[in-house]
Structure 1
């Protein structure tokens, strides 16, 4: 009743402002903006800690949907005696997960949600990470659990004969010797009999290494093995399908997997990877396994790129693909994330975001651990969605934020920032069935007196915003090359360097550049994967790079190459061709001098010399270096990605951007957006006047241009913004649901004939507005 009344009240306000425009698109948009449907509203995690009852379920769902304005819930069961229960801090779910009593209460959740027109997201396991089936997977199928590649070694000085015991563990993967001075490697597989290696050591000092798989590292399913994943899905996904298929596609529309990766198991491996490596590269895997631990000479970089790249592919073609195929059968959309998708490097956490998300229907970022932790990494997820033509991008948001930092302003602040980075569906973290035993704050629910008054307005705001941002294509004219091959080439096991997504090469600056572009220079961009770039997905010509996807296609007029030592020759050739066609390129800090392919370093160096006029094997220039060609191609090398120099270089290479924001005087002194956030800063470390940023996103949808301008700072914004094209604009306020004509509009024709629409933009602290027009 309250929801219906609110809908009529706000819709009336919209009509009073706009007037009735008739049926069709306009009426639909106005109606959804007045009171967004549940499919656009946030759907929080509902941690069902405690004893479920039909009455308790109905009361809490009614409070969440009718009272707070959520669009539904993502039901997250907890395992008594599991991750939280055995700490005595948080009770698990009763009845026990996957029992018939549990499914009876789950049916109550579905029935109550269906009655209220709300949705339920099917969370695929108990606790997290996904992949244990409540602990049953490891008990019943230990052969299908995660594995790792282990090394044993012994040093020998030749010439002499050695006889060494070889631990075969669960399966032998080969043996090799490496000369510690010359780095020559010899395959020793033929010298191993049973569990003994006997070999005549040549002159010199040699590391004698044997490799073996260790199975059943823990109770999580082997994410890289489809057969194992499907066995897990029989124990979980299929149980829901058997009982609740009539709810699929209406009440249940999405599934959710959590933290699928190998966080904490850096040498996570699968025996099939050896065969894949040998088939693709024609080289003996055991001769290249040493590169996972050591420098093996000139082939080190290519070996690591190949091996870690294969592991990343197997991750994407394992768990995420199996879940997506299951969802396709039932008319559902898969959604989920790996661990550490916000960290500076993904290599030691789950592999590669583009390879991981390519099969996921709704790529999801994990915006958790306090504000603004990991923010520079968020654009990788929305960029992967663009690359694979996925129009929904989700965010698990607010989890593990302290109660102190999470006020109503924080709800809006973080929502705005992820929306500006491409998110258009929110999963707050979240509700708790027993709100007095919240293990992971904050409690975002009717029962939190600090947030409860703000939730109806927040959910209206989020629903309106995501309605406008779902679908269509994002407009961005800058492509930022994702330096995954440099990250892979740098990474090695057991080095003692920082782990958990922090081990990056010196000078790595792609995160810094991305944060500067979004929050300070205010030029939107999209990450471009070097392997995707060489496919026919991307076309080059006339100084442009076009992403040829049916729905999310984009056109880039500037390519930024962040610092990186390693890049594939194939990618460099296409960059060279783009430059020859009149393309503009900006590079920073370190140019590639090594090829990601075996044996092609010399060509990589030659290509970089041709493009930039710089020898990448020599010390990098200490000053800016520019070059050009007869077709209008231009390049700039910057020794450091410093904000002022970066902005000036972008202006010179791309003088006619899609959106130009004039300086914002009130934010000129704020330091946060210009700092090199690497995924480690927390709210508690920030000065009070350095919260948030002012940023935007531009989408085109159903013939309309949609601009979201978001000020997540605690300072007002008053500035001028130039939008390419002659636009007739309206102001859509997501906080109030009102629509009106945009005042203070003028048109400016540049010397080249390009017309810009100039608007005055004023925003209160922690507020947003949409400019919409043709």
Structure 2
């Protein structure tokens, strides 16, 4: 009997992963919560760091990672110039095969990390690898490209001739320095020479060329280039280890692809052709807007150009890697960089849409100076928008200080985990375990060998496993408030510059940086999210403009997100500093308000359209709510259907709270305001699940009121125990609605589930 039980224990993870993990639905059970099966245990990054990896040491470490740490697998990161055996060599693949066999024996599962070092896409070219640009050597024509501009000022009338710069010519544009009239001169180029009869006036003649940048990474904007990358890496693993795919190897992991390279001007030679295929017109006369004010069309032009580049990035890299993974029976995750840039134009392009085609959207919380926690909700909301089940975070590396990484305290480790799981992350990947713990590059070293963590590590990983049992079960997120992700305004504000600014920043910013401070002074979408959660104690979902158009419907005073699984119903919609908006988006906002919904505009009212020449239409629709525009600031505007609207020109946490709690809306969860309390509400297989966490150092004793009559049990993820909980039901004498009142008692850094009885 014991042998049969052991076989089942080892076999169940493989049966589980034979199907796509991110698409599975399953019932969480009391038994799994008390003693989580190994597929729920966290799987760290495991650095094979700067040394020769020996099979006998590797297998011994794997055994102890499972037995002493509570890790259910890992993702191998080959790392450093002195790593051996050579990456993707026969000896390397033999070692990898030994690791897979041991994982199979132990019931562990492996994430296929796709690079030697990082970032993904060069096959080892950087210092974190061995410096060998393998991809560039094999596919020299498929590396990162850059957009260059050569410009000349000319006084007309005159016949002007100029040799075209090297690279693929994307266009030649003349712009009048007075009225900013632009002319496409591309047809005046012949045999590499521009010849143009310049009219009267002062003109700026600009040549736009796409040239190889010299960076050894694959061209992220070109699907063919990324498919070449998967041929060099992913196909090697599959051809050698196909029998392990879908069982031992459960997914791929990519690390830090980004447009934060090529002097922030990453481009691709097929940009114009693909733009025309989508939009039906040439982008050539829009190119000057990437650097200059071109008049009333500036914001619209920038939104077209940077928006389309963001689409190429998400479809060129994320979609290609995801499609490869699904085609080979596994799933895909990873994260882009830098997530914490307030304007995402030069990094992920569009931090929500870049995960549209990825099964498991991800983020990293690496380096204490990088405030990724402010962006957790954007990534988890991306998953909610496009109906994804899992959200990954690579967490804890190079902390608390990136320049001098030390060892995190246990309090910090618990607080970060609780914060992530209440904000929608449900797949925490610890960073990291190091093969050679004497050569740790980025602390902390989270293994049985570190005396700071060894005694308590398994208790922590078991805690994470219990969170995973519940929160990886799928279901839908519940929130009453939606926040429009203002990507059109963010891209409309952006242009190419070289200073440290809101799109060209990775981490800490000097508080005295006036250029940065001025640029972000009217961007408030991240602050609005913080004010909602920490100031008002109300959860929310960011909604992407594309999703607002395609998946949201106005029904009986609510904005309904019509997903198959994650369907959400919103009573209120915030539009944070959305000075620019599409006509379809603002029309839906107006329809929501007219049907009885609540809309709150902050900092800037919409007055520009994404569509060129349609600004007046946007202003006209906004005036249908605010006849006096900005002069209606702070007024409560109402209509006969119960619709309510506010414009908050200088919002803060107090103002947001006053508007929400003064609206007469009954919210899903209400508790005395305390920024250390975080929560998430999901509905799993028809059962309400509430997860409350204390992220602070003080004990919390408070009541919380939940909408509806809900019989609940208290599930403790620290102990795995389940008990009856004291609850009371209150009825609102005015509305007749019933609410459930629970008592929350949480020690510092502790958490609890309240789960509806079966």
Does TM, scored on the shorter chain, surpass 0.5?
yes
Aligned twin of 2:163: 165
Aligned twin of 1:394: 392
Moved more, 33-42 or 296-305: 33-42
Following the alignment from structure 2 to structure 1, what is the Cα–Cα distance between the partners of residues 162 and 438? Answer: 59
Aligned twin of 1:375: 373
Do structure 1's residue 452 and structure 2's residue 467 form an aligned pair?
no
1:146–1:222 Cα contact (<8 Å) kept: yes
Do structure 1's residue 635 and structure 2's residue 645 form an aligned pair?
yes
**Structure 1 position 494, deviation (Å):** 2.1
Task: Find the residue that maps to 1:94 and give its secondary structure.
Answer: coil
Moved more, 234-243 or 224-233: 224-233
Matching residue within 573, 576, 581 for 1:562: 576
2:481–2:540 Cα contact (<8 Å) kept: yes
Moved more, 696-705 or 744-753: 744-753
Following the alignment from structure 1 to structure 2, what is the Cα–Cα distance between the partners of residues 641 and 121? Answer: 43
**Structure 1 position 745, deviation (Å):** 3.6
1:431–1:445 Cα contact (<8 Å) kept: yes
Matching residue within 558, 577, 584 for 2:591: 577
Aligned twin of 1:624: 634
**Structure 1 position 316, deviation (Å):** 1.3
Following the alignment from structure 1 to structure 2, what is the Cα–Cα distance between the partners of residues 177 and 568? Answer: 29
**Structure 1 position 277, deviation (Å):** 2.5
2:535–2:657 Cα contact (<8 Å) kept: no
Task: Find the residue that maps to 1:261 and give its secondary structure.
Answer: coil
Do structure 1's residue 645 and structure 2's residue 660 form an aligned pair?
no
Do structure 1's residue 475 and structure 2's residue 478 form an aligned pair?
yes
Task: Find the residue that maps to 1:202 and give its secondary structure.
Answer: strand
Aligned twin of 2:338: 340
Following the alignment from structure 2 to structure 1, what is the Cα–Cα distance between the partners of residues 623 and 498? Answer: 33
Moved more, 262-271 or 469-478: 262-271
Do structure 1's residue 546 and structure 2's residue 555 form an aligned pair?
no
Task: Find the residue that maps to 1:308 and give its secondary structure.
Answer: helix
**Structure 1 position 160, deviation (Å):** 2.1
1:565–1:591 Cα contact (<8 Å) kept: yes
1:46–1:431 Cα contact (<8 Å) kept: yes
Q: Deviations over 1:280-314 (max 9, x none)?
A: 44433221100111111111111111111111111
Q: Deviations over 1:112-140 (max 9, x none)?
A: 11111111100011111100123211011
Matching residue within 745, 749, 753 for 1:770: 753
1:748–1:758 Cα contact (<8 Å) kept: no
Q: Deviations over 1:423-455 (max 9, x none)?
A: 111111101111111111111111211112121
1:277–1:306 Cα contact (<8 Å) kept: no
**Structure 1 position 579, deviation (Å):** 1.2
Do structure 1's residue 605 and structure 2's residue 613 form an aligned pair?
no
Following the alignment from structure 2 to structure 1, what is the Cα–Cα distance between the partners of residues 347 and 599? Answer: 31
**Structure 1 position 654, deviation (Å):** 5.5
Following the alignment from structure 1 to structure 2, what is the Cα–Cα distance between the partners of residues 734 and 640? Answer: 41
Following the alignment from structure 2 to structure 1, what is the Cα–Cα distance between the partners of residues 184 and 587? Answer: 34
Task: Find the residue that maps to 1:612 and give its secondary structure.
Answer: coil
Following the alignment from structure 1 to structure 2, what is the Cα–Cα distance between the partners of residues 477 and 198? Answer: 61
The Cα RMSD (Å) is 2.0
Aligned twin of 1:500: 505
1:346–1:353 Cα contact (<8 Å) kept: yes
**Structure 1 position 495, deviation (Å):** 5.7
Q: Deviations over 1:527-570 (max 9, x none)?
A: 001122111x1111211111111111111110001113211111
Aligned twin of 2:326: 328
Task: Find the residue that maps to 2:618 and give its secondary structure.
Answer: helix
Aligned twin of 2:605: 591
2:366–2:399 Cα contact (<8 Å) kept: yes
Q: Deviations over 1:735-761 (max 9, x none)?
A: 111111112544343521211101121
Do structure 1's residue 414 and structure 2's residue 416 form an aligned pair?
yes
Aligned twin of 1:519: 534
**Residues 262 and 663 of structure 1, relative CA distance in 2, 3 Å threshold:** closer
Runs of 5+ unmatched residues, structure 1: 9-24, 81-90, 665-672, 674-692
Task: Find the residue that maps to 2:237 and give its secondary structure.
Answer: helix
Matching residue within 172, 177, 184 for 1:175: 172
1:342–1:378 Cα contact (<8 Å) kept: no
Task: Find the residue that maps to 1:347 and give its secondary structure.
Answer: helix
**Structure 1 position 476, deviation (Å):** 0.7
Matching residue within 661, 664, 671 for 2:671: 661
Following the alignment from structure 1 to structure 2, what is the Cα–Cα distance between the partners of residues 551 and 651? Answer: 29
Following the alignment from structure 1 to structure 2, what is the Cα–Cα distance between the partners of residues 47 and 500? Answer: 27
Q: Deviations over 1:707-752 (max 9, x none)?
A: 1111111111121100011111111111111111112544343521
TM-score, scaled to structure 2: 0.91
**Structure 1 position 511, deviation (Å):** 0.3
Written as runs of structure 1 = structure 2, the 5 A alignment for 1:116-265 is 116-134=106-124, 135-167=133-165, 169-265=166-262
Following the alignment from structure 1 to structure 2, what is the Cα–Cα distance between the partners of residues 284 and 389? Answer: 34
Following the alignment from structure 1 to structure 2, what is the Cα–Cα distance between the partners of residues 575 and 744? Answer: 38
Q: Deviations over 1:479-532 (max 9, x none)?
A: 001000010001100263512268655311110111122223111100001122
2:406–2:443 Cα contact (<8 Å) kept: no
Following the alignment from structure 2 to structure 1, what is the Cα–Cα distance between the partners of residues 114 and 239? Answer: 14
**Structure 1 position 77, deviation (Å):** 0.9
**Structure 1 position 632, deviation (Å):** 1.2
Aligned twin of 2:707: 724
**Structure 1 position 371, deviation (Å):** 7.0
Following the alignment from structure 1 to structure 2, what is the Cα–Cα distance between the partners of residues 223 and 554? Answer: 33
Aligned twin of 2:102: 112
Task: Find the residue that maps to 1:51 and give its secondary structure.
Answer: coil
Following the alignment from structure 1 to structure 2, what is the Cα–Cα distance between the partners of residues 643 and 494? Answer: 33
Following the alignment from structure 2 to structure 1, what is the Cα–Cα distance between the partners of residues 487 and 733? Answer: 39
2:115–2:121 Cα contact (<8 Å) kept: yes
**Residues 567 and 337 of structure 1, relative CA distance in 2, 3 Å threshold:** same
1:348–1:500 Cα contact (<8 Å) kept: no
Following the alignment from structure 1 to structure 2, what is the Cα–Cα distance between the partners of residues 749 and 624? Answer: 29
Aligned twin of 1:69: 70
Task: Find the residue that maps to 1:653 and give its secondary structure.
Answer: coil
Following the alignment from structure 2 to structure 1, what is the Cα–Cα distance between the partners of residues 479 and 369? Answer: 26
**Structure 1 position 216, deviation (Å):** 4.6
Task: Find the residue that maps to 1:559 and give its secondary structure.
Answer: strand
Following the alignment from structure 1 to structure 2, what is the Cα–Cα distance between the partners of residues 631 and 589? Answer: 26
Aligned twin of 2:19: none
Aligned twin of 1:84: none
Task: Find the residue that maps to 1:480 and give its secondary structure.
Answer: strand
1:72–1:120 Cα contact (<8 Å) kept: yes
Do structure 1's residue 97 and structure 2's residue 111 form an aligned pair?
no
Following the alignment from structure 1 to structure 2, what is the Cα–Cα distance between the partners of residues 246 and 448? Answer: 35
**Structure 1 position 705, deviation (Å):** 1.0
2:535–2:654 Cα contact (<8 Å) kept: no
Task: Find the residue that maps to 1:289 and give its secondary structure.
Answer: helix
Matching residue within 432, 435, 459 for 2:434: 432
Aligned twin of 2:46: 46
Q: Deviations over 1:194-215 (max 9, x none)?
A: 3322222222211110011112
Following the alignment from structure 2 to structure 1, what is the Cα–Cα distance between the partners of residues 711 and 270? Answer: 58
Do structure 1's residue 532 and structure 2's residue 534 form an aligned pair?
no
Following the alignment from structure 2 to structure 1, what is the Cα–Cα distance between the partners of residues 290 and 530? Answer: 31
**Residues 622 and 548 of structure 1, relative CA distance in 2, 3 Å threshold:** closer
Aligned twin of 1:681: none
Aligned twin of 1:267: 265
2:355–2:361 Cα contact (<8 Å) kept: yes
Task: Find the residue that maps to 2:29 and give its secondary structure.
Answer: helix
Aligned length: 710
